[in-house]
Amino acid sequence: ARPKHRTLDEIKQLKAEVFPESNPEPLGDDELKWMNTRHRFLIKKATDQGANEWERLQKIAELFYDQHQSRRRQSQKALDKYCTDNLRRIIGDVNVDRLMYLYMESATPEHLQSAFASMVSRIRDEEMSNQAEQYGQFCRKILRIVSLEPSALMDWLNDEQRAQLQLLIIDKQISDDVIYERVYQFYNETGDKEEAQETIASACRRFIADLFGDDIVEEIEDLKDQSQKPQVIASKLHQHINEVENAESERVYGKSVWLCERVYVGYSGHCECGGRADACDETQSCIECRGNTEGAMCQRCLEGFVWSLEGDRCIEPCHCNGHSILCDDFGTCQNCTDNTVGKHCDKCDDGFIGNAKGGTETDCTECNCRLDQQCVLNADGAIECVTPLEAIFEDAGNETDIMEAMARADEAVLEERKEEGPNNADEVAEEED
């Protein structure tokens, strides 16, 4: 059976029973400073669909509630004053002061709503009572005094869909997972996906704020604005769920996270680790990341590592003194330029002299001395041509024993010949004997 549709007269009668006859106090520029073009379009759309002034007011409150703190701040004081001024006019200064005291003392939303309902029940005039109810609904969203049930995720469903869900809910053999999967199926099949998405996203933002606080909502919104991967955002949501100390809240809201992941976050549920891990845990985070990576999608390098040029793994960072930008997986510089050699391009090549760690193209200068001479740098950094013995004296200095300096020079020669390869091994051994 198709959902029942009320006639226009029935709708008008229903509104007359709920909404006051007089319109609410109009909102001024200061109260609406936070609104952008999209917000104004949504309000106009609601008006075109027959919304009255009170319904428009509630729509504005819903939009305001969902805004980032930086945007809400533009009109928060003006809207706070709008609320207190209108409530004082209806329920009196004493009652408003009592509510504000409870609010400042961090009373629960349920406590505040109960106190407000008690105050409204004592109003004899039905018109004033209806106004108080409407302003109360508006101000609860403005002041963020909202307790949310996961059922708010389903406010967009039609009567037939609700009936189907109700049959699933009363069946004790049907798990919550199956129920939320059916809701997601309805979402994919709906003709007005924009409205459904907005309703679900709004409810998700509210219960995240209710459970974790506004800061977490701001964090999630910032990640979405930064186009962060949905899997990373979903992983953060799960981590916060796991930190909830109230077991019942964790159970109820934990199930709702699944639908929020799919619609609000946009996460498909597919475990994506970039080929650097094979599985995800229950928080949608990759486990046992390879290639020196970490993160929900193995998307970050471990501390002390950088991405390889191929971008498929993390390697030790390149420290090549400005003479190369390419390293192997162990941080050894490849293709050193500017006449440099070494693991970090930190030495001058044969026939060149200088300070290879200077970071310029002219760090190593060609040695133009005679074949029987060596190039050395004097105290001023200038190149001088000296005989081998003079070079020893130059290195030894006045306070160093010359014989020890000559012995070190011999050892350096032998070590250099060893490094030339196995062909010189026997000759080196004979000389050592």
pLDDT at 52: 93
The phi-psi region of residue 28 (left if phi > 0; otherwise alpha if psi is between -120 and 50; otherwise beta) is beta
The first and second tokens of residue 271, run together, are: 């475990």
Residue predicted with more confidence, 279 or 427: 279
Give the 3-state DSSP-derived string for 112-127, with helices as H, strands as E and coil as C.
HHHHHHHHHHCCCCHH
Distance separating alpha carbons of residues 358 and 51, to the nearest angstrom: 73
Residue predicted with more confidence, 243 or 55: 55
- Band of pLDDT at residue 245, cut at 50, 70 and 90: low
pTM above 0.85, yes or no: no
Is the dihedral angle over the CA atoms 221, 226, 230, 231 positive or is it negative? negative
Residue predicted with more confidence, 192 or 432: 192
Q: Taking 70 as the threshold, does the pLDDT of residue 9 lie above it? A: no
**High-pLDDT (> 70) share of the chain, %:** 80
pLDDT at 417: 60
- The per-residue pLDDT for range 158-173, each reduced to its tens digit, is 888 888 888 888 888 8
Residue predicted with more confidence, 17 or 58: 58
Distance separating alpha carbons of residues 294 and 289, to the nearest angstrom: 6
Look up residue 79 and give its DSSP letter.
Answer: H
Q: Taking 60 as the threshold, does the pLDDT of residue 35 lie above it? A: yes
For the range 151-156, what are the long-range contacts, defined as Cβ-Cβ under 8 Å and sequence gap of 24 or more?
152/199, 152/203, 152/206, 152/207, 153/183, 153/199, 153/200, 153/203, 153/204, 153/256, 153/259, 153/260, 154/183, 155/199, 155/203, 156/190, 156/192, 156/195, 156/196, 156/199, 156/200
Distance separating alpha carbons of residues 119 and 99, to the nearest angstrom: 10
- The per-residue pLDDT for range 338-396, each reduced to its tens digit, is 999 999 999 999 889 988 999 999 999 998 888 878 888 888 778 888 876 655 555 55
Q: Taking 90 as the threshold, does the pLDDT of residue 119 lie above it? A: yes
- The per-residue pLDDT for range 92-102, each reduced to its tens digit, is 999 999 999 99
Distance separating alpha carbons of residues 165 and 157, to the nearest angstrom: 10
Cβ-contact 137, 61 below 8 angstroms: yes
pLDDT at 47: 93
- Band of pLDDT at residue 43, cut at 50, 70 and 90: very high
pLDDT at 185: 92
- The per-residue pLDDT for range 296-311, each reduced to its tens digit, is 999 999 988 888 867 6
Distance separating alpha carbons of residues 239 and 299, to the nearest angstrom: 17
pLDDT at 343: 93
Give the 3-state DSSP-derived string for 372-418, with helices as H, strands as E and coil as C.
CCEEEECCCCCEEEECHHHHHHHHHCCCCCHHHHHHHHHHHHHHHHH
